[in-house]
């Protein structure tokens, strides 16, 4: 079925995965839309499914993707499940003719991400990946300041307490995607990492040289006191400093303009607005209706994941998971 922007028919939407990102971000965002109909929630965990149904008011619920598809094929689906499930679930949805929004990273392995991008193109389906920073107001403002010409130097920092399984791949990939969005493709990467276990690294620092001439630094630390996400961009008499998610400072010559997220309607701006989650959902539905390629398409996600693989190699970190289940 092909929709248009003016088409009055609501999009039939399914949501797979009712963990934190689903319950706290995407389901509340979907509740605000009058142009969609949620036709199913899916989770293999019965407790999570019941909670999601109760809190969202959506339904019906299904214990598997196959049960959902047996009941009827939706127009589009949100895949918010754990990363190891993405490849199989997105493949099944694309083959069924469903447009897909998939949380990042698209897959655990680059070859699988490439397969999904090729499948989406072959089936003429929208496949968008949740690199929400490209939609966050503070990052959008900074990017607009460096549209033409681009940056000469850029520093991307993503620090948060508590390491986790493959921390750089799982979390710093947001900043890698921003580096590509601002500077294009990398010509060379070098880096160092600190770890007792390479699957649970605590620090990654990398230097990048981009094809357009820009130089960049990536830093990701998991032994800090608190969450810090910052982007600094310089060049051609301009600067942009982002302290995510609230503040961006734009400089030109000897002046600087500082913008901060302000209160919205009856309360403070929600994280869904500040970090670009609501905006990426808006963009996904627009792409479903107009058939335009998403800003964070599968093809873009593949290029970001390819750069991440190059960085992991330079850092001396594993490209994929080892056998067994990650420790708690």
- CATH number for position 42: 3.40.50.720
pLDDT at 253: 82
Phi, psi of 161, deg, nearest 5: -75, 145
Element at 218 (helix H, strand E): strand 215-221
pLDDT at 235: 97
pLDDT at 175: 98
pLDDT at 97: 98
Instruction: Collect the ranges in the chain with pLDDT lower than 70.
Output: 1-7, 262-269, 322-328
As a whole number of angstroms, the distance between CA 274 and CA 137 comes to 7
As a whole number of angstroms, the distance between CA 111 and CA 231 comes to 29
What are the helix (H) ranges across the chain?
20, 27-31, 46-56, 65-71, 86-95, 110-123, 137-145, 167, 173-183, 271-274, 277-290, 298-315
CATH number of domain containing 209: 3.30.360.10
Per the structure, the complete domain to which residue 36 belongs is given by: 11-131+283-297
**Domain shared by 103 and 246, yes or no:** no
How many domains does one find in the chain?
2
As a whole number of angstroms, the distance between CA 311 and CA 209 comes to 12
**Domain shared by 173 and 307, yes or no:** yes
**Domain shared by 246 and 289, yes or no:** no
**Domain shared by 171 and 309, yes or no:** yes
pLDDT at 322: 65
Residue 256: count of CB within 10 angstroms of its CB: 12
pTM > 0.85: yes or no: yes
pLDDT at 277: 96
pLDDT at 96: 98
pLDDT digits (tens, 9 = 90+) for 201-214: 999 999 999 999 99
Residue 38, domain member (yes or no) = yes
């Amino acid at each position: 079925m092909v929709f248009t922007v003016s088409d009055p028919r609501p999009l039939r939407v399914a949501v797979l995965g009712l963990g934190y990102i689903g319950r706290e971000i995407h389901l509340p965002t979907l509740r605000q839309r009058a142009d969609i109909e949620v036709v199913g929630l899916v989770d293999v965990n019965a407790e999570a499914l019941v909670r999601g149904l109760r809190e969202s008011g959506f339904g019906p619920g299904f214990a598997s993707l196959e049960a959902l598809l047996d009941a009827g094929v939706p127009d589009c689906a949100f895949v918010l499940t754990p990363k190891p499930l993405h490849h199989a679930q997105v493949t099944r949805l694309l083959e069924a003719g469903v447009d897909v929004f998939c949380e990042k990273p698209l897959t655990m392995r680059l070859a699988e991400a490439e397969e999904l991008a090729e499948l989406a193109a072959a089936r003429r389906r929208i496949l968008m990946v949740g690199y929400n920073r490209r939609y966050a107001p503070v990052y959008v403002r900074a990017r607009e300041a460096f549209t033409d010409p681009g940056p000469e130097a850029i520093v991307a920092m993503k620090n948060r307490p508590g390491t986790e399984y493959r921390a750089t791949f799982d979390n710093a990939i947001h900043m890698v995607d921003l580096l590509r969005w601002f500077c294009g493709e990398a010509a060379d990467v070098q880096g160092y990492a600190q770890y007792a276990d390479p699957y649970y690294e605590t620090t990654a620092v990398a230097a990048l040289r981009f094809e357009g001439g820009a130089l960049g630094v990536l830093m990701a630390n998991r032994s800090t006191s608190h969450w810090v996400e910052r982007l600094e961009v310089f060049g051609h008499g301009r600067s942009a400093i982002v302290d995510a998610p609230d503040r961006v400072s734009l400089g030109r010559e000897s002046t600087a303009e500082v913008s901060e997220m302000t209160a919205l309607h009856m309360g403070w701006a929600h994280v869904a607005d500040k970090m670009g989650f609501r905006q990426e959902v808006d963009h996904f539905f627009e792409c479903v209706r107009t058939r335009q390629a998403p800003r964070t398409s599968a093809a873009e996600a593949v290029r970001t994941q390819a750069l991440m693989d190059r960085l992991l190699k330079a850092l001396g970190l594993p490209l994929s998971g080892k056998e067994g289940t990650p420790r708690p």
